[in-house]
Amino acid sequence: MSINSQTHIERRLLDREPSRNNPDKESPFTNDYSSRIQYLNPSSMTMAGLYEKTISLPRPIKPWHRASKGTTERFKGCLTEIFPELKDLDEKDLRDMEKKRHEL
């Protein structure tokens, strides 16, 4: 059955006067949902999906850019160099810090 013929059937059902003596057993809308989906323009469905996913983000304070080579190595242990008392920190101290973070 073509989409046009389905439209015709649906239009007939919608336009029909309800009869008190012979009421419809089922609402004409009961089975309409599947055929109505086909009337949607596929492109508009695609657009609808896109609209849902579109989010407006504020401008970042610092935008992304390629990293300067060697940055990770340059900053490794940078705070222990500034604050000598932090040179004593060992693995257990870091684990304790992680545990304290859990308590937040």
**Nearest-angstrom CA–CA distance, 78 and 82:** 7
Choice from 19, 34, 43, 100 touching another protein (CB under 8 A):
100
**Nearest-angstrom CA–CA distance, 98 and 92:** 10
Asked if 58 touches another protein (CB under 8 A), the answer is yes
Asked if 17 touches another protein (CB under 8 A), the answer is no
What is the chain's length?
A: 104
CB closer to another protein, 1 vs 78: 78
CB closer to another protein, 25 vs 65: 65
The CB-of-76 to another protein minimum distance in angstroms stands at 5
Asked if 91 touches another protein (CB under 8 A), the answer is yes
Under DSSP, is residue 67 helix (H, G, I), strand (E, B) or coil? coil
Question: Sign of the C-alpha dihedral, residues 20, 26, 30, 31?
Answer: negative
